[in-house]
Amino acid sequence: MKRIGVLTSGGDASGMNACIRSVVRTAVSRGVTVMGIRRGYDGLVRGEVVPMDAASVGGILNRGGTILLTARSERFRTREGQAEAVETLQHHGIEGLVVIGGEGSFHGARVLGTEWGVPVVGVPATIDNDIAGTESSIGFDTAVNVALEAIDKIRDTAASHERIFVIEVMGRSVGFIALEVGLAGGAEAILIPEVPFDIHAVCQRITGGRRRGKISSIVVVAEGAADALEIGRQIEQITGLDTRQTILGHIQRGGTPTAFDRVLAARLGFAAVDQLLAGRRTCMVGTVGNAIEVNDIDAAWTIEKKIDLSRHQLAQVLSV
């Protein structure tokens, strides 16, 4: 294999640039040419391909987002669009592809691999951390730390005004961000899709804390669990306590990647190139127990990634 491609797809995640850098410089060190595909599968369909070398990825390690840009592609969902994507790969002599992204990106990679015979390796990069086959995906740690910094600041004003704050974090249909940031931030309640909740029980925890001398409380809500605005209204109605709501939103996608995400991205980018050059097809790389693990790419959605509920129990014990 003398020439490979790399693209980023789906929602951006801090650390994608570090992974691009790792892919490019690893490949170059093996005598392999790298072509960057801009705007994900949409760019692959449209032929937006640029040459990359070691110098082209200099100075990007500390940058959030992705220098290759990302976009969703309805065209690629069609058979005609997929044929155009494969034609782009063939036209540029690209013999293998590294796809950096989340579950949707991996579905696209699987189509290229199984239906069109393109050697492809997926690298998990999503702040939601919902991909099986890896304990952490690129961008998750940064998103948690961005959210935690915001919650720490909100706690200052919550205490000053003796208020309840309901804070919604991202995560799509899973509660990994909410649980991690809620535990780290000492939230009085953490609402996640994986654990059913009773709003009256939540209110009892809050009022119980007030009786013990707490003057403020933080409730972290995963976007897939409930609407933070409605939860805030219910809490204020039931408890009679002054309540405010904050939706952190896309601030969690940006920011300088943490050291953890940079190192993870470096390791996974290196491993992805290794797998391509070794002849492995339609697979993904991840880390389990700090070791690199390789799985079939469809493991990302055929295996359910379960949240550690003992952490939720720990948060409840510590938030009294």
* pLDDT tens sequence across 146-201: 999 999 999 999 999 999 999 999 999 999 999 999 999 999 999 999 999 999 99
pLDDT in tens, the chain (320 residues): 999 999 999 999 999 999 999 999 999 999 999 999 999 999 999 999 999 999 999 999 999 999 999 998 999 999 999 999 999 999 999 999 999 999 999 999 999 999 999 999 999 999 999 999 999 999 999 999 999 999 999 999 999 999 999 999 999 999 999 999 999 999 999 999 999 999 999 999 999 999 999 999 999 999 999 999 999 999 999 999 999 999 999 999 999 999 999 999 999 999 999 999 999 999 999 999 999 999 999 999 999 999 999 999 999 999 88
| Predicted TM-score (pTM) of this structure | 0.96
Strand blocks (E) in 102-170: 120-124, 164-169
| Predicted local distance difference test score (pLDDT) of residue 320 | 81
How far apart CA 151 and CA 203 sit, in angstroms, is 20
Active-site annotation, residues: 128
Q: Do 107 and 122 meet the contact criterion of CB atoms below 8 Å apart?
A: no
Would you state the structure tokens that stand for residue 311, as one six-digit string? Answer: 């952490």
Q: Which domains are seen in the chain, by residue range? A: 3-139+257-302 (3.40.50.450), 144-250 (3.40.50.460)
- Residue 292, strand partner residues: 287
| Predicted local distance difference test score (pLDDT) of residue 106 | 97
State the CB neighbour count (10 A cutoff) for residue 29.
Answer: 11
How far apart CA 314 and CA 282 sit, in angstroms, is 38
Query: CB neighbours of 308 closer than 8 A, spacing ≥ 6?
Result: 179
Residue among 286, 274, 273, 265 nearest 18 (CA): 265
Q: Do 41 and 86 meet the contact criterion of CB atoms below 8 Å apart?
A: no
**DSSP structural state of residue 47:** T
Query: CB neighbours of 2 closer than 8 A, spacing ≥ 6?
Result: 31, 32, 33, 93, 95
